[in-house]
Copies of this chain bind each other. A is one copy, B any other.
Amino acid sequence: MIDDRVRVGLLGCGTVGAALVTLVGEQAESVAQRTGARLEITRIAVRDPGKERGAQIPKDLLTGDAAGVVGAADVDVVVELMGGIDPARKLLLGALEAGKPVVTANKELLAAHGGELLAAADRAGVEVEMEAAVAGAIPLVRPLRASLVGERIERIMGIVNGTTNYVLCRMTDDGMAYADALAEAQALGFAEANPAADVEGHDAAAKAAILAGLAFGCDVSADDVYREGITALRPVDVDFARRMGYAVKLLAVCERAAPDGAQRGGDGRARDGGPVISVRVHPAMVPLAHPLAAVRGAHNAVFVEGAASGELMFYGLGAGGRPTASAVLGDLVAAARSVLARRHATDGDGGAPVRAGLAGTHAGRPRARIRPMGELQTQYYLNIDVTDRPGVLASVAEVFGTHQVSIRSMEQDGPQGGVAHLIFLTHTAREDGVQATIEGLSHLDVVQHVGAMVRVAGGEDLP
């Protein structure tokens, strides 16, 4: 008779960890009935074992020795919810080398060292499960790794940070200033006291790197991701966007680059192997009719565009203890099933290692080749303050023209106190041309201030 218990070592027991302990308690019986795997949390590593915790955390499981949990004979699967790069990286590498599958919600670690972890997992023939690292409760990583593994993904475009989405919704719906909306989000507990990771796009960039790696089968790190936050946006920007039929959202975009230049084949793949992709995080104008425009508050939504599948969208809660723990539990069950599969296979004969689940999916991922941001082609929104005098528009328009940026529409607000506010929407243009235009405008005497530049999501391709 094969033992059906799968023993879990938990690293970290904050909001998500505590919710996971509760959830395993509630669902273990149902999971055992459905999958044959009997989950049992046997050890929990925390920084301070003496700290007072809720009644649902069994005190006798707590320890300060994380490495001991990873190495323990009564731990079959390691769940890492401690966050940060070190010591999480070493602990997970140790677990994988010991042949133990790992479940992690650590986006920072995965965006920095995902390739290393996946390679170690491949060598050991076990899995790194990571559903909770992107888009919280939403099943997105597994569909990308399993359901869509035969699909040629063309583009992923998503709202993956709830804090910035909440702030942008308040600015859009209620005309709030950025700072006020952020202060409110902080008061409500949606934003950290130090909001930089969210509002400057670092959190979204880490998630974009993970999604790009999964979608395009290559190694992408957070450093590869072009990143702009939402701090420069003013109510006037979201207001004009709305009047033009757009909602402003902080988007993570991962897409295959259009063939551009001799070094690439017609399939968007660099001739030496890795696909050429664009990975970026920035505020973007999303047409109001697009499903992403309707995503409210702290929700996340991710649009996936496949060559055969067409457009898919995954929507749900992107954060929170219980929703995130729900995603961790799904991963944990998958890891437990593969533990049992290996246990069955090697029962009594010590046969060859069994690759079950998703192990081996990422063998030998090439490094991604990142298209320079200057080659991006899309539409652009731009606003500038100019001195109100005859001939201004002509000199401004000349700068656009010099850099091959064609103006689709212009609106003038004011003049007030001698200053006119000009809002431009361009036709599809190249990023480097637009950047040169901004530079050129800033040198014109009549231009008093160059305000926000916002890209239009999906250029002119969107509905």
Contacts and interface: CB of A to CB of B under 8 A. Distances in A.
A308 B353 CA distance: 35
B316 A312 contact: yes
A361 B333 CA distance: 11
A14 B23 CA distance: 45
B151 A329 contact: yes
Contact of A352 (B131, B217, B329, B345): B345
B306 A326 contact: yes
B347 A352 contact: yes
Contact of A341 (B142, B149, B308, B341): B341
Q: How many copies does the complex hold?
A: 2
A383 to B, nearest CB: 30
Interface in A316-334: 316-317, 320, 322-323, 325-327, 329-330, 332-334
Nearest to A340: B355
Contacts of A337: 355
A308 B325 contact: yes
Residue from A19, A312, A353, A362 having most chain B Cβ neighbours under 10 A: A312
A327 B26 CA distance: 33
22 contacts: A27-B150, A27-B152, A30-B217, A34-B361, A137-B306, A139-B143, A142-B142, A142-B143, A143-B143, A150-B332, A151-B326, A291-B294, A291-B315, A309-B322, A310-B320, A312-B315, A341-B341, A341-B356, A344-B353, A344-B354, A346-B351, A348-B352
Closest 9 CB pairs of A and B: A139-B147, A139-B143, A150-B329, A308-B326, A345-B345, A312-B316, A313-B315, A137-B309, A309-B326
